[in-house]
Copies of this chain bind each other. A is one copy, B any other.
């Protein structure tokens, strides 16, 4: 039995989503442990474990007299994944904020990796860029290669802080988009431009160029993803009207 199937995890996930959907006002007292145990037909021990998890996420603060709901704004980054997974499609503004933030971190990582790479690592990166180029026509098929390239850069740059951030950013974000039927339509040549710049940056070990190429790519990706979400939202509301 995987630990994510325990009663306490299920309870925590349900309550987490209720908080993220703002069913409770910030500062409000949360239902009591005894009430939650009755609601979920579980023991108070399981409820307490679930509340421990929510507290670690910064979503509640437990104290005698009753837990209090905290503002989502003061929560841990780990709530971002579930926040974006709410509903049929994610909030476009939140997605854009995610992409913008991810882009500056990715640009920094690319820059540092290109500067720090050994000759062997440069060869490895070039190889990964070439593999990515081989799938550049198909957005979905190129994702594993894109992830491999980012992972290699992250390893070479070796910044633990960015690594920890990425863990919580759920860099499988794109997979989630694809599952939800959101497919960004990048302009022709956009990936080619990125790959071309990356190749030059690797040949010259030019970190600035690598970083700038990443940032430019994400500017386009942000637009494309925003359009795709709006398109998907329209699809879903038309379907709902029928």
Contact = CB atoms under 8 A, between A and B. Distances in A.
Given A3-B63, A8-B52, A55-B3, A108 B104 contact: yes
A62 B3 contact: yes
Interface in A119-142: none
Given A57-B56, A76-B168, A105-B104, A97 B3 contact: no
Given A2-B63, A76-B77, A76-B167, A101 B161 contact: yes
Interface in A44-85: 45, 48-50, 52-53, 55-58, 61-64, 72-80
A241 interface: no
A101 B162 contact: yes
Interface residues of A, number: 46
A102 B62 CA distance: 30
Which of A98, A165, A169 has the largest count of B CB atoms less than 10 A from its CB? A165
A73 B163 CA distance: 7
A65 to B, nearest CB: 10
A207 to B, nearest CB: 13
The A contact surface, by secondary structure, is helix
A240 interface: no
A159 interface: yes
Contacts of A167: 58, 73-77
30 contacts: A1-B63, A1-B64, A2-B63, A3-B61, A3-B63, A45-B45, A52-B52, A53-B53, A53-B56, A56-B78, A58-B167, A73-B160, A73-B164, A73-B167, A74-B167, A76-B78, A76-B167, A77-B77, A77-B78, A77-B168, A80-B164, A97-B160, A97-B162, A100-B159, A101-B159, A101-B161, A101-B165, A104-B108, A161-B169, A168-B168
Given A1-B64, A53-B53, A105-B105, 5 more contacts: A2-B63, A72-B160, A76-B164, A77-B78, A104-B107
